[in-house]
Chain A
Amino acid sequence: MLTLQPYLTLAAIVFAIGVMGIIINRKNIIILLMCTELLLLAVNFNFIAFSYFNQDIAGQIFVFFILTVAAAEAAIGLAILVVLYRNKNSIDVQELQTLRE
């Protein structure tokens, strides 16, 4: 019978992959947004695993709200991305340094 630990380990590895993706990626903002989705997926995994093994529905409620916020975040992030591409004609992370100069 499966216990809680394999699920948490799986979520931890997915979370680490998401963090690594954010650090590695230096040329495409879309990949950064996708890595954010991976991080949220790992968090949702933890919530659902604890919800099942504690037999408490509150974990699933939280996942519901996280899904809502993540959908809103993806929509706004992609809208910002489209505006950015329209203004600068590039989505390269390393070219977006106007705040630094």
Chain B
Amino acid sequence: MSFIEIIFYVFASILLLTSLGVILFKNPVYSAISLILSFITSAALWLLLQAEFLAIVLILVYVGAVMVLFLFVVMMLNIDDVVRTSKFNKMAPFALFIGLIIVAELITLIWIRSDQFSVVTVSTGFLDSSVSNTTALGTALFTDYLYSFEIAGFILLLAIVVSISLTMRRRKGLKRQIVSEQVNIDPTKRMKLVDLKNERN
């Protein structure tokens, strides 16, 4: 067993344990932390597959942004008043059944005739070893997939607009400026000039 295989199996078992932890922990904070660990572990596995840029992006975007957002929301909502039912509710045997069937089917599909569909492993690195992974990804992204890239940008813009407009709350009775009225004010209505007689004559 080579060194890479040992690394793969160690990280794979950590990934499986942590993803089981995501669904089995009662406390959502533990689940979120477990999911963070599984993201980091799979980033390490992606490094084995020479996807260096995506591994870093997974850590930066997912662990740094998305999971922190999850933890934020978990701690912002008061989860103590969520009713704590027993961990294995009545759906658990059914879920286990479905999960085992999915695993059995997929593993059968993957390993059947594995000698025929095993792909040639090229040991010389990705595509062209003179070009780094980030360069290759960027070159493909900004030439062949430019249109999809702009659509992805629009999706992110949509996410910003939607989440702001969903969570923005307008309270009633709030005193605020109405700028248009302030600008359009007529000075003759505001100010009255009164002639005062000079009393000292």
A52 contacts B126, C-beta separation under 8 Å: yes
Q: Chain A, interface size: which category? A: 35 or more
Partner of A67, one of B61, B85, B95: B61
Specify which chain A residues have a CB less than 8 angstroms from the CB of B81 in the assembled complex.
Answer: 90
Given contacts A9-B110, A21-B22, contact A31 B82 (CB under 8 A): no
Specify which chain A residues have a CB less than 8 angstroms from the CB of B15 in the assembled complex.
Answer: 10, 14
Contacts of A54-88 to chain B: CB distance below 8 A: 54-58, 60-61, 63-65, 67-76, 78-83, 85-86
Question: Measuring CB to CB, which residues of chain B are less than 8 angstroms from any residue of chain A?
Answer: 2, 4-5, 8, 12, 15-16, 19-20, 22-23, 28, 31-32, 35, 38-39, 42, 45-46, 48-51, 53-54, 57-58, 61-62, 65-66, 69-70, 73-74, 76-77, 79, 81-85, 89, 91-92, 94-96, 98-100, 102-103, 106-107, 110-111, 114, 118-122, 126-127, 133, 136-137, 140-141, 145, 148, 152, 155-156, 158-160, 162-163, 166-167, 169
| Interchain residue pairs A-B with the least CB separation, the first 6 | A21-B23, A72-B159, A12-B106, A23-B95, A79-B163, A20-B99
Given contacts A5-B111, A37-B35, A64-B141, 7 further A-B contacts (CB under 8 A): A1-B121, A31-B22, A38-B19, A57-B126, A60-B133, A79-B163, A91-B77
